[in-house]
Structure 1
Amino acid sequence: MPGVSARGLSHAERRQLAANLTRVLSLYRSLLDAYIFEFFTDQLWSTLPRSWQEALDGLNPPQLAALLLGMPAEGDVVRYRSVWPLTLLALKSTASALAFTRTPGFQTPSEFLENPSQSSRLTAPFRKHVRPKKQHEIRRLGELVKKLSDLTGCTQVVDVGSGQGHLSRFMSLGLGLKVKSIEGDRRLVERARRLDRELLHALEKEQRRKPQVAPTGPRRSPQHVVRWVEPAALCDELLLPLEHSPRGGARLLLTGLHACGDLSVTLLRHFCCCPEVVALASVGCCYMKLSDPGGYPLSQWVAALPGCELSYRLREGACHALEEYAERLQRAGPGLRTHCYRAALETVIRRAQPTLRRPGVQGIPRVHELKIEEYVQRGLQRVGLDPQLPLNLAALRAQQAQENRVVAFFSLALLLAPLVETLILLDRLLHLQEQGFHAELLPIFSPELSPRNLALVATKRPLGQAFSVLETEDG
């Protein structure tokens, strides 16, 4: 997807971008605040300007992917049936111009050309128990951390929110880094230790089979620590050295792969407050779980901008996978009807029990194979209502006929979602700059594989031209 590169923007340009983003988000806040499952109950289609309705009505999913979301297409798909209103064209252009680009400077699909389930860039022992998405993520972030560690002279890496330790294992046993791995769930830590032992055994076995192949680094497993890292307090455990450096104190690099909600902000706080921490490489996610206040805004500049507030709904929308949904639109599969079915279910729920609003509906398997009345019956059961309630089948059929409108409205909101993520990440960049530090955002994952793919990289001294090394793909 097009966008503006976060890399190399001046401080003034970043501030101006933040101001532009808050103005645009304020202008379209009603669109972003809407819940798609309230499409019928809140008559969301009628909230759009009439000219937008006329332009979008009747477009099929591949046309929406091409004409609205900018996906490549051929033939009749890319032909406008009518002249679009300037306001809608302006929205499309603005969304593209103001969002940070999530397109990395490498061709990721080649990594999975030989086998879509196995990364050709990782050796077999590091792929075991790891899904393709995670294989790609641990390799890319691990290699970036290794380069950043070398550039900043770090003595150890601290992986916060490490889960089963896949990233920590690759950095330590694959790249030779000294790694401390911190995770609050004891069960995950116990599994991480078992996987460490299994990987060590596999590497030793491979070494015996191929003694001519030298190991890539010392066989040092990560040190796993069971510890919750509290958002509001500094954690001493993060700062404890694995071993004392002969030259003095530890120089730490903090990293987190999709550190959830406040955990990403906590890493920033440790970086800013702790002299021992000299570098940061963090990929955030789950923006809706940010504390309010405390998690956003962080920078003085963004906090002073009118309209900077981001509701839970806006932050939740920023976590959607635009590229993945655009591909679904191109394929025009039956799975796209889910939103329409859920919106129809909401109308039945509110008629049956008006006080039950926005209930969570557990996943209903194989939605695309169900008739709309079958889905509604199962949905009623999921929320504790009688599945045998009499249904107005004519009304349900009429709602089902508006499936493309539901998809079009959701696509509009999704078009704007990257602007929310851009503002959240831009706020973090500005906060670090206000503290006198050096920070950039790099798209390090393929967005088709990993939508939250912007890594926040920060150092306490400028790296100059050496920073460009972090953007390259290892051979």
Structure 2
Amino acid sequence: MLSSLIGDISIETVRNKLDAIQRFLSASLRISNAHTVDFYTEDVWNEFVAVAPECVLAVITGCNQQTAPVPVQEESSLCFYGFVDDSLKLVDVASFLQAAKAHSLPHLQVCTSLEDLLQGLQGGGRKSTDKALGTDDFMNDKKSHEVKVMSELVASLAKYCNIQQVIDLGSGKGYLCSFLSMEYSLKVYGIDSSSTNTHGANERNRKLKRYSKAYQRTREPVIQETVSEIQEDHSSMNEAGLTPSKKVQELLVLMDKAALDGPASSLDSAEHTVGGENITGAQSETEDLEADGSPFFGILSSEVVELPTPRKNPAELSSEEKERRKQENLKRKSKTRSDSSLYSPLTSYVTAKTELQEIISDMEDSVMVGLHTCGDLASSTLRIFTAKPELKAVCSVGCCYHLLSEEFDCPRQESPNGIWGFPMSQYMKQQKWNCGRNARMSACLALERVAVGQGLPTQSLFYRAVLHVILKEHYGAIKSEKRVGNVYSKSASFVDYIRKALKKLGLDESKLPDSLIQDYYDKYKPRMNEMEAFNMLKVVLAPCIEGLILLDRLCYLKEQENTSWSTLVKLFDPLKSPRCYAVVGVKRLLNSIH
């Protein structure tokens, strides 16, 4: 089992980590729940922070590069985690930063590394693959990165569980589905609630299959060119008085034989001899050739390595050998045949109570996956996995935490079928823990990106907060029921922004002269650094809130009797894809050989 290969974190450990995060957030979560719109009308800075904004920015900027593990600060009667005990105002920024880092997923030591997980699934050693389909040719950099990494993990889960079917919830444009079907020959059902997405995925998949065929056809001339280069290099070495290794000479001889016997695409991988050793199949031969250390082998693709296979005259083969080769050819053709049914986009709205058999007619044992499933769909993915015996493994990467429904939020949001997205685990339900929408919104902030200079839109947030001051003082609006939207990007100045916003809100903007609007800007501009510093505090807290949500999901899986193994794994580069953590689970495989 996986637990014996890479270890397993106990449910007690997960609960202890949840307790630790909750203790820290009990003091700090109110910062994340403060709304930017109210920043000046409610004097948020002085309400929550007792140090100068310049101090906060200086400390955070100086500590962004810290990567070593940091200790958790012990609580005291006067100050804990940097907050004063009675007022909960922040007074010690350095202690706050240390505590935030200590309570984020990278420092809680609850995640399994992707390398260890893949090795465990693949039998203790990752196998390098030479895939033909280049994702960079038809996906942007972010999506290409996500699809390549996640597809390897999903395919490994499928192979580990000895199944061929994958169900992708919230499949969107179908990139992951198409890649899994074309590169790993998996039968994939992509389910999305948008018929537009489903139709587009169907058309995109058809084009990708055509692209894949064209891509593969272009590889044969490249192979022949590579062989020619090896032969030319061999001639140059002879002219220079250099002697190639014995295996290189034997390889060239076999290449000549293969060229006489027929095209490379018709060659079999029967047993043959290289360097005095019996080698069966291209993989063993590759390992043998690479052991020689020759510079030639670095440019050999798997197709070239298959070229040396000698062929026998069909008349010399026994009937058993002929039948064996016939069956191998049939299997090979079946494997490489482009089958349009390998990926089937389906349109359906999925909840935790969805019956998959009503959507998928030929339902069989499957891996359930979700790549950046929004809000409650991530929670529903895990609930469906645990409820359906035909689902043997799950790999879920959630996003849009602000769209999660919370059972213990006040006022409580409505949730379909009375099932809420957070919390999931019985452990967290018993504590009636809630984050709040603003805090869940803050959990979507990307600390790693901010740390490398991809800052927050401070000026647009500043404009919105000052607009709220104007609305309150001149229009009697405590809260605006309408959204301003993306007015900032269309505005030439602060005055222009206010006028456009007032028009969008349906308010009379003629009552405010330009000079009065400009006075508001001049009054609050010196306090803009307060907003910048406060938002940086929110960014620092983001990984802790995300960690709480993800550990709750992991705890839920560990509470299920039919789940044998579960973990969190950091799948993606957070600079490319900030929502980079996957919840992975495997059912108890009764007939598993693992």
Q: Which TM-score band (shorter chain)?
A: 0.7 to 0.9
1:297 paired with 2:461, answer no
1:364 aligned partner, one-letter code: V
CA distance in 2: counterparts of 1:142 and 1:423, whole angstroms: 26
CA distance in 2: counterparts of 1:136 and 1:365, whole angstroms: 32
Quick one: which of 430, 437, 444 aligns to 2:571? Answer: 444
CA distance in 2: counterparts of 1:454 and 1:270, whole angstroms: 20
Closer/same/farther in 2, CA of residues 275 and 226 from structure 1, 3 Å limit = same
Q: TM-score, normalised by structure 1?
A: 0.79
Closer/same/farther in 2, CA of residues 204 and 462 from structure 1, 3 Å limit = closer
1:143 paired with 2:264, answer no
CA distance in 2: counterparts of 1:122 and 1:40, whole angstroms: 55
CA distance in 2: counterparts of 1:365 and 1:373, whole angstroms: 11
1:271 paired with 2:385, answer yes
Bigger Rg, which one: 2
Match of residue 559 from structure 2: 434
CA distance in 1: counterparts of 2:64 and 2:589, whole angstroms: 37
CA distance in 1: counterparts of 2:353 and 2:475, whole angstroms: 40
SS of the aligned residue for 1:281 comes to: strand
CA distance in 1: counterparts of 2:443 and 2:462, whole angstroms: 21
1:408 aligned partner, one-letter code: A
CA distance in 2: counterparts of 1:26 and 1:208, whole angstroms: 60
Deviates more, 1:121-130 or 1:201-210: 121-130
Q: CA deviation at 1:277?
A: 0.5
Closer/same/farther in 2, CA of residues 238 and 90 from structure 1, 3 Å limit = farther
Quick one: which of 190, 207, 222 aligns to 2:343? Answer: 222
Q: CA deviation at 1:92?
A: 0.9
Closer/same/farther in 2, CA of residues 462 and 428 from structure 1, 3 Å limit = farther
Closer/same/farther in 2, CA of residues 122 and 237 from structure 1, 3 Å limit = farther
Closer/same/farther in 2, CA of residues 410 and 68 from structure 1, 3 Å limit = farther
Quick one: which of 185, 190, 201 aligns to 2:194? Answer: 185
Quick one: which of 342, 356, 362 aligns to 2:485? Answer: 362
Quick one: which of 585, 588, 592 aligns to 1:458? Answer: 585
2:174 aligned partner, one-letter code: G
Match of residue 282 from structure 2: none
1:269 aligned partner, one-letter code: R
1:262 paired with 2:398, answer no
Match of residue 37 from structure 2: 37
CA distance in 2: counterparts of 1:279 and 1:188, whole angstroms: 25
Deviations 1:396-420 (A, max 9, x none): 2121122221110011122112211
1:198 paired with 2:199, answer no
CA RMSD in angstroms, aligned pairs only:
3.3
Quick one: which of 527, 533, 543 aligns to 1:408? Answer: 533
Match of residue 441 from structure 2: 316
CA distance in 2: counterparts of 1:28 and 1:365, whole angstroms: 30
Aligned residues with identical type, % of pairs: 27
Deviates more, 1:212-221 or 1:280-289: 212-221
1:67 paired with 2:67, answer no
SS of the aligned residue for 1:28 comes to: helix
Q: CA deviation at 1:256?
A: 0.7
Contact 1:284 1:452 in 2 (8 A): yes
CA distance in 2: counterparts of 1:361 and 1:230, whole angstroms: 32
CA distance in 1: counterparts of 2:574 and 2:215, whole angstroms: 33
1:377 paired with 2:372, answer no
SS of the aligned residue for 2:105 comes to: coil
Closer/same/farther in 2, CA of residues 433 and 95 from structure 1, 3 Å limit = same
SS of the aligned residue for 2:373 comes to: strand
Match of residue 110 from structure 1: none
CA distance in 2: counterparts of 1:443 and 1:174, whole angstroms: 23
SS of the aligned residue for 2:368 comes to: strand
Pairing 1:275-286 to 2, within 5 Å after superposition:
275-286=389-400
SS of the aligned residue for 1:427 comes to: helix
Closer/same/farther in 2, CA of residues 398 and 166 from structure 1, 3 Å limit = same
Deviations 1:27-79 (A, max 9, x none): 123212101222111101111342xx23x33666xx4652354469xxxxxxx
SS of the aligned residue for 1:401 comes to: helix
Deviations 1:421-441 (A, max 9, x none): 111111111111111322101
SS of the aligned residue for 2:575 comes to: coil
Pairing 1:72-221 to 2, within 5 Å after superposition:
87-101=92-106, 126-211=135-220, 218-220=337-339, 221=342
CA distance in 1: counterparts of 2:475 and 2:352, whole angstroms: 39
Aligned length: 420
Q: CA deviation at 1:260?
A: 1.1
CA distance in 2: counterparts of 1:462 and 1:401, whole angstroms: 63
CA distance in 2: counterparts of 1:122 and 1:399, whole angstroms: 57
CA distance in 2: counterparts of 1:38 and 1:104, whole angstroms: 40
Deviations 1:152-206 (A, max 9, x none): 2122101111111111001101222111111121121111111111112122222
CA distance in 2: counterparts of 1:298 and 1:449, whole angstroms: 28
Runs of 5+ unmatched residues, structure 2: 1-6, 68-81, 84-89, 116-129, 221-264, 266-301, 304-331, 408-419
Closer/same/farther in 2, CA of residues 261 and 239 from structure 1, 3 Å limit = same
Closer/same/farther in 2, CA of residues 122 and 417 from structure 1, 3 Å limit = farther
Closer/same/farther in 2, CA of residues 123 and 351 from structure 1, 3 Å limit = farther
Contact 1:176 1:218 in 2 (8 A): no
CA distance in 2: counterparts of 1:238 and 1:277, whole angstroms: 15
Closer/same/farther in 2, CA of residues 239 and 265 from structure 1, 3 Å limit = farther
1:162 aligned partner, one-letter code: S
1:18 paired with 2:15, answer no
Closer/same/farther in 2, CA of residues 232 and 346 from structure 1, 3 Å limit = farther
Q: TM-score, normalised by structure 2?
A: 0.64
SS of the aligned residue for 2:503 comes to: helix
Deviates more, 1:373-382 or 1:140-149: 373-382
Q: CA deviation at 1:131?
A: 2.0
Q: CA deviation at 1:278?
A: 0.5
Deviations 1:304-339 (A, max 9, x none): 236x2121222122112222233336xx79x53222
Quick one: which of 442, 451, 456 aligns to 1:326? Answer: 451
Closer/same/farther in 2, CA of residues 106 and 153 from structure 1, 3 Å limit = closer
Q: CA deviation at 1:238?
A: 5.9
Contact 1:161 1:184 in 2 (8 A): yes
1:241 paired with 2:362, answer yes
Closer/same/farther in 2, CA of residues 398 and 462 from structure 1, 3 Å limit = farther
SS of the aligned residue for 1:304 comes to: helix
Closer/same/farther in 2, CA of residues 453 and 159 from structure 1, 3 Å limit = same
2:436 aligned partner, one-letter code: S
SS of the aligned residue for 1:40 comes to: coil
Contact 1:442 1:455 in 2 (8 A): yes
Q: CA deviation at 1:209?
A: 2.9
CA distance in 1: counterparts of 2:206 and 2:21, whole angstroms: 48
Closer/same/farther in 2, CA of residues 239 and 428 from structure 1, 3 Å limit = farther
Q: CA deviation at 1:255?
A: 0.3
Match of residue 275 from structure 2: none
